[in-house]
Amino acid sequence: MIDSGWSSWWVVPMMLCMAILLAAIIGVLVAVTRSGVLPHQRTPEELLRERFARGEIDSAEYRDWLDALHEQRFTTSY
């Protein structure tokens, strides 16, 4: 048999580096999701408030939609 001079000693440091890299990637993902950097989903009330602020709906329509949202929230059962 011909020995190329390579042995299996390099497997251990390579596996260690891969584990460190994987832990770093997971750590960054957890930090980003917990920090609030990612945009959050706006609630229906926020969307309605924005439409009212832009003048797309008037105050009567705003109150009607807001009442409808609150009724739906309390009557919906899961």
Taken in order 42, 44, 48, 49, is the CA torsion positive or negative? negative
User: Tell me: the pLDDT tens digits for 14-66?
Assistant: 999 999 999 999 999 999 888 877 677 788 899 999 999 999 999 999 999 99
Give the pLDDT score at 2: 56
Q: What is the pTM of this model?
A: 0.44
Q: State both tokens at 48.
A: 């309605």
In the block, residue with structure tokens 């990637």: 25
Closest alpha carbon to 62 in 77, 47, 41? 47
Do the Cβ atoms of 57 and 51 come closer than 8 Å?
Answer: yes
